[in-house]
Structure 1
């Protein structure tokens, strides 16, 4: 009997490693989505466990945001000095420590420190995972980034369901959060041990990151940063105030208002799936402009017809579908503009988005409180139309032609 043995070549080993790396990437995106969204639904449980007022627990959001901002600022330097693999490993480890720490934090004081660590992991991975995606799929980064960000959205949708499912089960939330931290530890091993593609392989030439002033003086990088700032502020603001639009405008009850919010986030998730399918046939810049314009149209429907439950629902769906491709596609544009600036430009862009999420929804809330639903929804329209104007007037990045 003759036994045929197929020896594994280096190409075979890379194929196996790539599959494992893809698995780590996809799992990490889901974990990141859950980690980024679970704190709000879990806050009542956590503050009750610590015996403190719910309002006092709000400091955890501040620390999470602060950690995320610090991580995004540091990621560019970390990538420059240590490379993407180390940035992925450190960020994933911080996420794991933050999740496990939140599961067992005995006091609010300890949880404040843990929340900062969790924010560092969230912010670092927000940049590093998207960069890894672009590196794994250099021919079609726009398609890949839209698809993997669907998983982030899925994780964000899972978070409140996970908290709700463990409600009333003794130590249920703690066990679930600990398990999520263990998953993050496993992906940390994957990112640390598996070889990365292309310019991120060991021994590849290290490119010195440009100074922040140099980046922001570049007109296109500046436009992308402002785009991130405006877009994330518009997305978070509309998603956060949609419930108030429904109750104050159409005077819907709790169930009806919740349906409007769910319609926005569900259409947002489905929109990213659709964007990943059409991204092969239109340019990335066109997708950003078209998405922002569609979302602005939906916001205008809400502003003009917020008294109608049906039109309010339609407007929320249009905003969700339109917003869906803007972030991942803008990230793709940042990586395609200049390969030697990819890490730095995308880090600055994500930082802009983080600041937009912190500042613009607050301003929108003040507009809503003083001038009503029409003005509050018009604020979203203004942000999105500004993105359209910036992209139409900005210099398009190279390599943005569609790939068939």
Structure 2
């Protein structure tokens, strides 16, 4: 039963990846059809990310009240509703309204599944879990590209993703007995207020690291397709498929890193990933032909592969399993704060600086992540402040 449940958890992470890459792949066609400004994609992304921050902060309370299976199933259902809303949208206002359930559906399930796997399984399983997120991210641009080529438009691509989400929702609700049999429900643990957790040694550095890395990854995901169109001169249909190379690199990299964790450890993989990101950005910065940009996206994605899952898996080891659920929820919130702020900020930046500055913008957050990495991935354990002494 635990093995079957692990497969269900893996498949659940596909549902997290599907919406994450859909907007970026569809946006060139959406913008043309609806007549919206380029930076409006950042506004929609901001709404999604704000909803995710809220739901991830509420994840600990939800998981203490409901099982992880119920929280996951309801969350995926919310994203299905949002995707269907996208497919029926005829204005920017409708897109913004549909973004609300997309955001609320992502945060709680992200924190819940990350915590469960980080506590109960070796690091390779968390990397493989995030590999399935990459499968979902890679699948969306492919589906969108196929929909655009078939003539069903971006609406057809959104409908296809919504149907997949509905199927995954059904799977999660059918698997509810597995969660009960394996006692996935959150164990009763003393609740520590967030203000006390923020005083722990290493927590602020880790949260800032996650925020900067998430800003890099989410900005690349949202604007890669537009970069290929406006800077490398690709057709929107081709650019949507080229953007999937970024997720191909993430997915393949996490699959490979899952086998390498036992030999090299999570800290070594994080540093190697940051070097890979730098190499990918270099290919995007240089004025090279379109195939070089495609190679840069693959290398960039491969470099992104180990960073987030390795930091998450180290959390129970560094700070203690008893408080890992709260801390991973805070990390999820920090990640989505970066996701909320930076893609729309870059959208505004393009109005005066152009899409050409995307690699430099990403390089800035890579430098910040690298500077914060050493204190964020130290192996020593950290002591939890006593609530009695802090209140």
What is the TM-score when the length of structure 2 is the normalising length?
0.78
How do 1:220-231 residues align onto structure 2 when only pairs under 5 Å count? 220-231=202-213
- Measured in 1, the distance between the counterparts of 2:348 and 2:263 equals 41
- Measured in 2, the distance between the counterparts of 1:216 and 1:233 equals 21
Counterpart pick for 1:377 among 333, 350, 359: 359
Which SS does the other structure have where 1:208 is aligned?
A: coil
For residue 180 of structure 1, what is the aligned residue in structure 2?
164
Higher relative CO (Cα under 8 Å, sequence separation at least 6) belongs to 2
- Measured in 1, the distance between the counterparts of 2:336 and 2:87 equals 25
Q: CA deviation at 1:110?
A: 6.7
Q: CA deviation at 1:277?
A: 1.6
For residue 336 of structure 1, what is the aligned residue in structure 2?
317
The number of equivalent residue pairs is 372
- Measured in 2, the distance between the counterparts of 1:96 and 1:90 equals 10
Counterpart pick for 1:68 among 52, 62, 65: 52
Q: CA deviation at 1:317?
A: 3.9
For the aligned residue pairs, the C-alpha RMSD in angstroms reads 3.9
Which SS does the other structure have where 2:263 is aligned?
A: coil
Counterpart pick for 1:350 among 311, 332, 335: 332
- Measured in 1, the distance between the counterparts of 2:273 and 2:174 equals 34
Pair member with larger Rg: 1
In structure 2, runs of 5+ residues without a counterpart are 382-391
For residue 105 of structure 2, what is the aligned residue in structure 1?
121
Counterpart pick for 2:138 among 152, 157, 168: 157
For residue 11 of structure 1, what is the aligned residue in structure 2?
none
Contact kept, 8 Å, 1:232 with 1:353, in 2: the verdict is: yes
Change (3 A) 1:154 1:111: same
Counterpart pick for 1:393 among 337, 354, 375: 375
Contact kept, 8 Å, 1:230 with 1:384, in 2: the verdict is: yes
What is the TM-score when the length of structure 1 is the normalising length?
0.76
- Measured in 1, the distance between the counterparts of 2:44 and 2:297 equals 29
Deviations 1:284-320 (A, max 9, x none): 12221221133234434544xx123376555444322
Counterpart pick for 1:253 among 225, 233, 240: 233
1:217 aligns with 2:199: yes
Q: CA deviation at 1:161?
A: 2.6
Change (3 A) 1:302 1:158: closer
- Measured in 2, the distance between the counterparts of 1:116 and 1:31 equals 16
How do 1:212-361 residues align onto structure 2 when only pairs under 5 Å count? 212-242=194-224, 252-254=232-234, 258=239, 261-300=243-282, 302-303=284-285, 306-309=286-289, 315-337=296-318, 338-361=320-343
Q: CA deviation at 1:265?
A: 3.5
Counterpart pick for 1:88 among 72, 78, 85: 72
In structure 1, runs of 5+ residues without a counterpart are 1-14, 400-404
Q: CA deviation at 1:150?
A: 1.6
Q: CA deviation at 1:269?
A: 2.5
Change (3 A) 1:41 1:393: closer
Change (3 A) 1:116 1:297: same
